[in-house]
Amino acid sequence: MSERVHDAGATAGNGDGDDQSPLEALEAARERFERAERRIDEHGGEAVADAAEAYREATGLLEDYVDRATGTGRENFKAYVELEGKFDSLVSSLPDDLKGRDAFEDALDAIDKRRLSEDDFERANEALDPARQYADMLDEREAAREAIDDARTGAAKRLRELDDEIPERERLLELATADLEAPVEDLRDPIEAYNELIVAAVEEYRLEASAREVFALLERSRWYPFVDYEQPPEDLAAYVDENEAGEYTLPELLEYADYSRSKLEHYVDSADELKRRVATQQTFLDGIDGEPLTIPWPPAEAGVLRRRTREYRPFVERVAGADAVAQLRSIRRLTTDPAFEYDRLQTAAQAVTQLTADERERLADGQVADELEALRAERARLEDALDVDDPV
């Protein structure tokens, strides 16, 4: 399993290509910074900074005056005098031992004329080239520092990806231990029987209960994470709670929403309000069914299924008959009955349902185990690399 990724920090190093892994990019960025630091140290950090500052000030002057001080006009000559004065003052103030000092003298000579052209400015900039290396050293160190920041971001992103990839490989290895010959129908049959009962029961409940009662049930489901009913829009909920129309069943409200206003006035106080509140929410109202109270296949681990059935029970008691409640209890008992071997059947059901042909092949030849080992090793190396304190 390769730890290379093409979109996470691949270019944060020294530009060696897009095939770097995040770890390689971080190591390359640190090496780049160390090289930049060594080069500066070889010349003396303070001396490099002084020379770089002088170079930037000198080139800044040339850039400021290149347009104003070229030509034969009076204003051009005035600008030239200003430039020469400032440049001469700059050069005169430089220490004799400044690195690249001769370059500043040569640049001053290049503009020591009564009239300047753009070629003179180019010659002055060229004369400063020996001093430019010191500014370049500082620029390279700053670029290397930014490359480290980018590489750390890429490494952190890769760690988050590993947090998803490693559990996925672990899940596959767990499913690899499944007994694919296990009688999963012993688990599937009672779950399917319960699901059929609760779907039918909720459909009947919709036909009999008032919209207000149904909405109260939906409101209660807010506090039960496994009972995943969508909540009604606030304006519709308020209408059902406060208006007499809330005493009608959901099918009746939907039927009335299709009536003409004149016909509807025989059933509700305000035909316009019912149409405004109900007709626009037909999709939501039609979608209230027993699905959120069904048990998914394949089921989750025993502990999760126990919590799910515990949360379902008060809702099943409210909307369904004794048969559905008894079926739900029997499913819960399966998770604690040692003779039933729930874990074995659940793992087998997960494997049969979830494993693709490719995953089974990779499990059979050991690829998944190798991938998991490589991913864990990559995570350990990245964590170690990110523990290193980098220059701020």
Per residue in 72-114, pLDDT (tens digit) is 677 777 777 877 788 778 888 888 888 878 888 888 788 777 7
Q: How many CB atoms lie within 10 A of CB 309?
A: 22
pLDDT score recorded for residue 311 = 97
Cα 254 → chain centroid:
41
Phi, psi (rounded to 5 degrees) for 35? -65, -45
Query: Could you read off the pLDDT of 74-85 as tens digits, one per residue?
Result: 777 777 787 778
Q: Is the backbone of residue 40 left (phi > 0), alpha (psi -120 to 50) or beta? A: alpha
Radius of gyration of the CA atoms of the chain, in A: 38
Burial call 250-276: b when 16+ CB within 10 Å, e when fewer: beebbebbebeeeebeebbeebeebbe
Q: Is 181 exposed, middle or buried (0-12, 13-18, 19+ CB in 10 A)?
A: exposed
Residue closest to 146 by CA, chosen among 385, 382, 381, 391? 391
Q: Give whole-number Cα distances, 27 to 4, 16, 21, 59, 382, in Å.
A: 14, 12, 10, 35, 10
pLDDT score recorded for residue 6 = 34
Which amino acid is it at 345?
L
Q: Is 43 exposed, middle or buried (0-12, 13-18, 19+ CB in 10 A)?
A: middle
- From first CA to last CA, the distance across the chain in angstroms is 34
Angle between helices 357-364 and 129-176 (to 10 degrees): 90
Which amino acid is it at 102?
D
Q: CA-CA distance, 229 to 289, in Å (whole number)?
A: 9
Q: How many CB atoms lie within 10 A of CB 122?
A: 13
pLDDT score recorded for residue 93 = 84
pLDDT score recorded for residue 10 = 36
List, for the chain, all residue ranges whose pLDDT scores fall below the cut of 50.
Answer: 1-17
Tokens of 51: 């020379």
Q: How many CA atoms lie within 13 A of 117 on its CB side?
A: 1
Is the bond leading into 167 cis (omega within 30 degrees of zero)?
no
